[in-house]
Structure formats: C-alpha cells, structure tokens
Amino acid sequence: MTAAERETGEAILRAASELFGERGYKATTTRAIAERAGVNEVTLFRRFGSKRGILAALGDSWAKRMAGLVVGAVPDPKDTRGTLEALARLEVEQAESSGGVAMRLAMDAASCEDVAEWMGQGLPANFAGLITYLTERQAAGDLRTDIDPRVMAEAFFALTSQVVMSRQVLGGVNDYELPMSVVSGQLFDVFMRGVGMREEI
C-alpha cells in the first residue's frame, strides 16, 4: 500500500468516525462519508467494499489501543503494575479520541444488526483478554484472589475508558479542574490499591 493510499484510507475512516458520531450508523451514507473525506464513492468502495467494511476497519484501528487485545504485546507482562498502568493509558487515550462515536455506536447496536455484530466481536474479546491477564497475575500472587477477575476487569474499564466517555456525555458536569491525565492516574491508583496484594503493587 502506498503512502497516498494509506492517507486516503485514514481520511475515509476519520470521516466515517465523525459522521457515525454525529448521525449514527444507519443515518450515515457512504456518499456522505466520501464527501467528508474528499474522495469519490468508487474510491471508498474499492478500499473498504461497503459501509460495513468501513465499520470493521474502524474497529481494527481501535483494537490497537484496547487493553485486553494488546496485553500480549506488553514488554514485561510480569510487571503487573507497569503493565496495567500502560494498558490504562491506552484505554484512556482510546476513549479520549473515539469515546463519543463508540458510545453512539453502542446505542445504535440495539437497532442495527451490523453494529450489534461488530460490537459483539470486539468488546467481549477486549474484556476476555484482560480477564485472562488478571487471572494469570492472581496465580502469580500479584493480585488479590478473593476478587473475581471479571469484577477486576469491570472495575478497570470503569475507572479508565468509561470515566472518560461519561465526561464526554455529561459535557463537563464533573469538571473539577483536574486534567484527565491526573484524574486517570489517581483512579488507576485507587484500582491498584483495591486489587493489589503486595506493597510494590
């Protein structure tokens, strides 16, 4: 793939993300996406095949920053705190860049089969990947074993990506003059104090 083709693909995905967030999946046409991206529809279809193909490619781009899907690529998975901290940063970054459209698509899933199927593939896999890692770290003695790893995963996502998305929806209702980087760091510390066993955690 050439640099120009890559840039065109990125422009189409960016336009689709904006329009899905503004209008929802059903109300967004491929024509509108092409116009917003500054390309013709033929280019869009050649690159992605369909609107559903665009949705799948958008999910693939998000997957690169979803904790449970990238945990296997973390340099030192035995460093439990370091790994979870890196994953938390990724989740916050993903939510800051795509949280609004992700929430809109989550609402669309109730009435749109394409979106429901797409979400049914990515989100459970993200959750399952983190649960697997937390279970391994429990077995290694780094995390409390009296807390179900599924509950730990729920807490992790609630204190990372979900808090960012709730702020986006509430539009600053919870704005107490702390940057999100500080808030997410402190929430991560709350999470680790709740699930960790050892002093160093």
CATH architecture of 3-50: Orthogonal Bundle (1.10)
In this structure, are residues 35 and 95 in contact, taking their beta carbons and an 8 Å threshold? no
pLDDT in tens, 103-149: 888 889 889 998 988 888 778 889 999 999 999 999 999 999 999 99
Range 64-195 has CATH code 3.30.70? no
Q: Give CATH 1.10.357 domain extents, the chain.
A: 64-195
* Spatial distance between the Cα atoms of 126 and 69, rounded to a whole number of angstroms: 5
Which residues neighbour 109 within 8 Å (Cβ) at sequence distance 6 or greater?
115, 116, 119
* Spatial distance between the Cα atoms of 134 and 40, rounded to a whole number of angstroms: 46
Q: Which residue has the tokens 């993300």?
A: 17
Which residues neighbour 15 within 8 Å (Cβ) at sequence distance 6 or greater?
33, 34, 36, 37
- Whole-structure pTM value: 0.82
Q: Give CATH 1.10.10.60 domain extents, the chain.
A: 3-50
Q: Calculate mean pLDDT across residues 58-73.
A: 88
